[in-house]
Chains A and B, each alone.
Chain A
Amino acid sequence: GRALERDQPFRPPPGWVLAGRVSPEHDVQLTLALRQRGTARLTRLVRAVSEPRSPQYGKYLSVEQLRDVVQPSPATLMAVLKWLQSHGVEDCRSVATLDFLECRMPVSTAERLLPGAEFHRYVKGQRSVIRSPQPYVVPEELAEHIDFVGGLHRFPAERSVVSRAWAKEGMESRGQRAA
């Protein structure tokens, strides 16, 4: 298979503690980012509708028109659905633009579907997430149809960018010490 995100570091943010493997029957929800068609056309469209000098300025697309530009090719949809069905994955839902699939499946299925993935639970206070510290691969013939699979490596946002003044003072004093 091919690793779609070989360069994705796995870094549990501070405070998240490993709480062990997740049982094979437990459900996970994975998000498959399907390869879009028409991204070059989308680039041109964005330029045309956003550039005030363009005659198309402000002529924005509806979600249906956007779907017609970016929806994956029939070959992509066919290949991905066939792959999912061959692993018994049927609880999937798409979005209006047809370029994402959210699928729910037991951990055992997910680990067969994405060889390499190993689902573990991490906890922080009352919160709990399921992630894989190991990289996943997809079958070689699927690699051209999927951009990445979400729900394996990235943790919930830890960094909203609000800070308190006292924290800034801390940075300032660190800066002064360094100077």
Chain B
Amino acid sequence: FHLGVMPSVIRKRYNMTREDIGVLPNNSQACAQFLEQYFHQADLAVFMKLFGSGFAHRTEVDHVVGHQGQGRAGLEASLDVEYIMSTGANISTWVFSNAGRHESQEPFLAWLLLLSNMSALPWVHSVSYGDDEDSLSQAYLQRVNVEFMKAAARGLTVLFASGDDGAGCRRVPGGNHTFRPSFPASSPYVTTVGGTSFKNPFMVTAEVTDYISGGGFSNVFPMPDYQADAVRTFLRSAPKLPPSSYYNSSGRAYPDLAALSDNYWVVTNRLPLPWVSGTSASTPVVAGMLALINDRRLQRGQPPLGFLNPALYRLRERGHGGALFDVTQGCHLSCLDGTVQGQGFCAGPAWDAVTGWGTPNFPLLLRALTAP
């Protein structure tokens, strides 16, 4: 029984023990902020005091890149830092703070420039930010996608939240609706994290979809090879799919995996705040776990995970199907019209466009991703 998601609940659900903490000094993880979203070290200390018993953890962020304002703490920043440091426990943590120092700077672009300019970076990056794909120019989308390829070539694992609008919705010329994919979630070179809820909201139970969990198909980027089999199986076997006019079934499909995204506790401005939700919560949770897996890989002399998707989509065929809890119940939101009636895609066995491959079963995921 619990009164909301906190680190102990996450660690129990995903089978993380007190021994599952980072031990290497040269491993690190990061989250990036683009609003004037500042985290406060004091909030982290209060959070860990309230919720961090049961596992060794750090109470300070090691490195802030950019401007750390003195204003009120932001909910997003508090959430990201507190939860990446709860699953990626005892791992050195960085915050990229990109509020846009100059009035004409684009904060997201400023973050990409930092990645291109720093020779030593954390191996795992968690970003809870997205735009509608159709709100950005083709030139910008294609170039930013190449920036994620650059990060992948360097071995960085870049995670993006899948968004909180389900499949999304857009009215196209002629008055019809289509779903509205989100970017960077739709980039084929990032790992996109969707959201789930507990089946019983007050117990550590199996998970169902969180109906806000962003998911769908890019209208810009074609489906990458690594996911083609999984996505085609979903499209072939799903009992009910939205009409094909609502989405581009040959586009990059997302999310890739998921985690709990509902009913979190966050400490912000020194106050514990309940009922915080969104894929902003699930993304740092997964990021911290991947940073912990990097810790174990580095201990074994293996390279960091890097761009995860090619390995993630092969887990089942390599006999590691149990590494993720398959979420098979529930659907997410979409257009409120007479055709789809607010329903987008639905979860099902194996990969689906609401929760991807499902949520981490940490010990088995660790075993799968450290197997020779």
Contact = CB atoms under 8 A, between A and B. Distances in A.
Contact of B153 (A5, A8, A66, A166): A66
Contacts of B117: 95-97
Nearest to B77: A160
B309 A50 contact: yes
Contacts of A33: 143
A132 B311 CA distance: 43
Contact of B35 (A42, A51, A157): A157
B214 interface: yes
User: Taking each of B104, B128, B226, B342, which has the highest tally of chain A beta carbons within 10 Å of its own beta carbon?
Assistant: B104
A129 interface: yes
A119 B104 CA distance: 9
A86 interface: no
Contacts, number: 210
Contact of B149 (A46, A63, A172): A46
Interface stretch (B17-25, B106-114, B233-241): B106-114
Contacts of B214: 161
B302 interface: yes
B76 A160 contact: yes
Interface residues of B, number: 76
Contacts of A174: 336
Contacts of A128: 103
B88 interface: no
A39 B116 contact: no
A52 B311 contact: yes
Given A45-B153, A46-B307, A129-B104, A4 B139 contact: yes
A31 B113 contact: yes
A72 to B, nearest CB: 12
B349 interface: no
A150 B306 contact: no
Nearest to B71: A126
Given A96-B116, A100-B113, A165-B275, A61 B303 contact: no
Max chain B CB contacts within 10 Å: which of A61, A63, A70?
A: A63
A151 interface: yes
Nearest to B297: A58
B281 A156 contact: no
B29 interface: no
Nearest to A154: B106
A161 B126 CA distance: 12
B161 A161 contact: yes
Interface string A17-40: 000000000011111010010010
17 contacts: A6-B137, A7-B138, A28-B102, A29-B102, A42-B150, A50-B306, A66-B154, A70-B150, A130-B104, A147-B139, A156-B100, A156-B106, A161-B163, A164-B275, A165-B277, A168-B212, A178-B336
The 10 closest A-B pairs by CB, nearest first: A58-B303, A60-B155, A165-B275, A8-B137, A162-B280, A5-B137, A157-B34, A28-B104, A50-B307, A95-B117
Interface of B: 33-37, 75-76, 79, 99-100, 102-110, 113, 116-119, 128-131, 135-140, 142-143, 146, 149-150, 152-155, 161-164, 189, 211-212, 214, 226, 262-263, 274-281, 302-304, 306-311, 314, 333, 336, 341-342
